[in-house]
Structures are given as structure tokens and as C-alpha cells.
């Protein structure tokens, strides 16, 4: 359990690059959700804007497009990042789903229901985090493709645009709800981190939280530290 009041050893959860990617992603996604769903408003809601509605509609369109470009850029950057950079490769390798995720899920549900004594020991990314991460890949692929189609509407048959629109709306609704129910819970309302997991700002995770949520990763990190310390010249050992 967390050693309150005591200075804890911290590990790096998110690198600077990852944090910047995350900020761009969440700011633009929030703007996209707000400005996008403004098109779904019913008459009574839209009427509340009154005479400002026209300008609001104009800026709604601009903001949606700018945020759309930002999110596309960060997604393309991310693809390059996970294939080219060293930290990106380590990220995607740890993120790849494996058989253990399946057994983790089953064991975790059994634990939560009270049929098991302990939570399964999970690695750097839990099965839910992997699911969320690849949902973003899947979702972004759909909204970017359909969004680009609708932006270049004059080249497409109207029916294709209707299909694109249906996918864009469906995916956006799914994403918005999944973010609220899934992500907001795990990083804000989760009792372990309430009121907020600050890792997206400082990039750090405490040893105690790691032990609780990612024990296998902690083991790996500690082993890595030990190895480094052994290789390091005398007298320069990091004191834990």
C-alpha cells in the first residue's frame, strides 16, 4: 500500500513526447466532440444561441476542421513514432495484445467478484489500457477517413457521403461515450488515483501505484535499474 507522507521512488510513465501527443489528442478530440455534436442539436437547443447562432455556426466549422487537422497530424506522427523511435517501439511492443491479457481479464473479473484472493499481476499496460489504446487506432482511422471524405465532398457520390456521415457519427458517439465511461473513470474517478492521475502532466508514476497496478512492469524496471547499477562505475550508483 501507498506509503503516505514518505518520499516515494517515482518511475517514468509517459515521456515528454507521449505527453505532448496526449495533450494534442485530448484537446482536439474534446473540441471535435463539442463542435461535432453541435450539429446534432435539436431546434430548441440551437434556438438558445439566438442571433449569435450564425457566428457560432461559422466558428464551429472552423474549429472542427482545425482540430481535425491537429488530430490527423498527431495520429500520423504517432504511427511514425511507434515504428521509428526507440521509446515508440518499446511502447508499441508493450502494448501488443497477448494471451496473458485474456487470462488477466478473466482472473481480474473473478477477483472483483470475490472468487479470487489477488488481482492478476499485470505488466506495463493492462488489458483495459490496451483495449482503449487500440480503440483509438480503430476509431481514428474511421473518423479521419470519413471526415476527409466529407471535407472533399464534391468528389464523392452523395450516397458514399451518407455512408461516411453515418460512420463518422456512429464512431464519434462510441468514442465520446467510451471516453466518459472508460477513460475518465480510470484516470480520474479510479479510487487509486482520485481525483486525477497526474501522469499526463508530469509523466511520473509512484512505485506503490506501480506495484498495485503494474507489478510485472515494476519488476522489469527494477531489474533494469539493477543491471544499470552493476554496469555503472563505482561510486556513481544511484541511491534508491
Partner 1 sequence: MGGRGLISFIAIALCICFLAPSAALATDDENCLMCHKYPGLGRYAKDKKNLKAVKRIFYVNEELFSGSYHGKLRCKSCHEGVEEIPHTDVKRVDCATNCHLKDPSTGRDFSHKAIVEDLNQSAHGSEGSGSEYKDDLPTCKDCHSNKNYQNVVKEQVGAMKFLKVCLECHESEEWAERFYEHMFYRASTRRSSKQVVALCSKCHADQEKMDRHEVDVVVGFKDTFHGKAILYGDEEVANCLNCHAPYEMGFSPHRIKSRKTEGSPVHPDKKLETCQQAGCHAGATAAFADKGKAHPSNIRVAAVDDQGETLSQAEQEFQAWVLDMIKLFYKVLIIAVVGGLGTHRLLDLYATRREHKIAHRASKMGGH
**27 contacts partner 1 (rule: CB under 8 A):** no
Q: Please pick, from the candidates 161, 209, 210, 218, the single residue that binds partner 1 as defined by CB under 8 A.
A: 161
**203 contacts partner 1 (rule: CB under 8 A):** no
User: Residue 146 is placed in which grid cell?
Assistant: 470519413
Beta carbon nearer to partner 1, 161 or 205:
161
Q: Are 80 and 17 in contact (CB under 8 A)?
A: no
State the CB neighbour count (10 A cutoff) for residue 178: 16
Element (H, E) at 232: none
Q: Which stretch binds partner 1 (CB under 8 A): 64-72, 82-90, 104-112, 220-228?
A: 104-112
* Nearest alpha carbon to residue 65 among 41, 32, 29: 32
Element (H, E) at 180: none
**47 contacts partner 1 (rule: CB under 8 A):** yes
Q: Please pick, from the candidates 7, 158, 235, 240, the single residue that binds partner 1 as defined by CB under 8 A.
A: 158
**195 contacts partner 1 (rule: CB under 8 A):** no
CA 67 to chain centre: 17
**106 contacts partner 1 (rule: CB under 8 A):** no
**48 contacts partner 1 (rule: CB under 8 A):** no
Phi and psi angles of residue 12, each rounded to the nearest 5 degrees, phi first: -85, 115
Q: Which residues contact 92 (CB under 8 A, 6 or more apart)?
A: 82, 83
- Contacts to partner 1 by CB under 8 A: 1, 39, 41, 43, 46-47, 49, 51, 53-54, 56-58, 60, 109, 111-114, 128, 135, 153-159, 161-163, 166-167, 169-171, 173-174, 177-178, 181-182, 185, 190-191
Amino acid at each position: 500500500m501507498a506509503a503516505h507522507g514518505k518520499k516515494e521512488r517515482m518511475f517514468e510513465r509517459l515521456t515528454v513526447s507521449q505527453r505532448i501527443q496526449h495533450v494534442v489528442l485530448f484537446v482536439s478530440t474534446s473540441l471535435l466532440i463539442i463542435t461535432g455534436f453541435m450539429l446534432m442539436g435539436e431546434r430548441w437547443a440551437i434556438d438558445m444561441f439566438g442571433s449569435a447562432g450564425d457566428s457560432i455556426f461559422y466558428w464551429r466549422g472552423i474549429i472542427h476542421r482545425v482540430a481535425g487537422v491537429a488530430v490527423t497530424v498527431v495520429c500520423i506522427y504517432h504511427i511514425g513514432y511507434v515504428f521509428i523511435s526507440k521509446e515508440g517501439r518499446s511502447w508499441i511492443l508493450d502494448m501488443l495484445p497477448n494471451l496473458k491479457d485474456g487470462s488477466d481479464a478473466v482472473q481480474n473479473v473473478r477477483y472483483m467478484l470475490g472468487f479470487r484472493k489477488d488481482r492478476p499481476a499485470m505488466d506495463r499496460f493492462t488489458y483495459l489500457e490496451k483495449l482503449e489504446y487500440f480503440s483509438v487506432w480503430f476509431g481514428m482511422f474511421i473518423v479521419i477517413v470519413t471526415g476527409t471524405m466529407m471535407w472533399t465532398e464534391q468528389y464523392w457520390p452523395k450516397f458514399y457521403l451518407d455512408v461516411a456521415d453515418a460512420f463518422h457519427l456512429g464512431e464519434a458517439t462510441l468514442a465520446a461515450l467510451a471516453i466518459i465511461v472508460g477513460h475518465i473513470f480510470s484516470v480520474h474517478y479510479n479510487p487509486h488515483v482520485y481525483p486525477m492521475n497526474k501522469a499526463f502532466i508530469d509523466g511520473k508514476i509512484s512505485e506503490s501505484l506501480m506495484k498495485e497496478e503494474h507489478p510485472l512492469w515494476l519488476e522489469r524496471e527494477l531489474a533494469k535499474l539493477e543491471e544499470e547499477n552493476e554496469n555503472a562505475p563505482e561510486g556513481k550508483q544511484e541511491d534508491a
